[in-house]
């Protein structure tokens, strides 16, 4: 089994889910008391969040590279960045650390293709929805990506940062997300990508009129695929 290096803590609420999912998947496949071999470097998300909203992406890239190098020094065989937004600097992290980065968009695109879909809606932080790094990576797989309009993007982003990363799950916020997803489906989305690793804490398949693709779960399973590959 290869050692999974995880850059986590963005937020720790979703990193806990990653850890649980990877261990459950290894146990499901290998049986008995087996669990995943994982190295985790968990950041202080308060600092990361401040830098994100200040647009300090160079400083954030340096933070991610530093964490990845710690994981490489610890013996990780490949790297998982346990957040969608920080895949903005995935290529730089891979190059500087020498570790393969298992990209969340690639794993998600494969899952969408396997479902026979092409046009999908993308939810996430405003960085993920508005900047090109996630959308263009998905489009490189032949997908057509729709994002919500400005008002919906603001609401989705606010709920992530003011509630979900702090472990707050509210029924009224679930209704907001249901409305956003329904409007994306009305615009022609045949599936919805939950493109922030905390969104799955709030909504699931039962909340959307079309299939949902939870990037946290997809990414965690892809990591186990990689760890157990010959």
The catalytic residue positions are 83, 196
Spatial neighbors of 174 by CB under 8 A, at least 6 apart, are 202, 203, 207
Spatial neighbors of 79 by CB under 8 A, at least 6 apart, are 5, 6, 7, 68, 71, 72, 93, 94, 97, 99, 100, 101, 102
Rg (CA), the chain: 17
Partner residues linked to 106 by β-bridges: none
């Amino acid at each position: 089994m290869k050692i999974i290096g995880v850059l986590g803590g963005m937020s720790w609420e979703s990193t806990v889910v990653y850890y649980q999912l990877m261990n459950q998947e290894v146990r499901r496949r290998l049986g008995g008391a087996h669990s995943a071999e994982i190295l985790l470097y968990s950041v202080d998300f308060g600092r990361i969040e401040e830098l994100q909203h200040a647009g300090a992406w160079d400083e954030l890239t340096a933070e991610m590279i530093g964490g990845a190098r710690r994981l490489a020094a610890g013996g990780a065989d490949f790297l998982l960045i346990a957040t969608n937004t920080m895949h903005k600097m995935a290529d730089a992290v891979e190059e500087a650390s020498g570790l393969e980065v298992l990209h969340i968009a690639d794993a998600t695109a494969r899952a969408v293709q396997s479902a026979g879909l092409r046009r999908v809606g993308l939810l996430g932080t405003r960085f993920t929805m508005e900047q090109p790094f996630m959308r263009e990576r998905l489009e490189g797989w032949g997908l057509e990506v729709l994002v919500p309009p400005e008002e919906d993007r603001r609401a989705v982003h606010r709920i992530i940062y003011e509630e979900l990363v702090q472990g707050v799950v509210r029924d009224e916020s679930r209704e907001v997300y249901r409305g956003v997803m329904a409007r994306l489906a009305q615009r022609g989305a045949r599936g919805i990508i939950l493109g922030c690793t905390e969104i799955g804490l709030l909504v699931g398949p039962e909340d959307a009129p079309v299939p949902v693709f939870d990037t946290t779960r997809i990414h965690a399973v892809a990591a186990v695929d990689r760890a157990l590959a010959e």
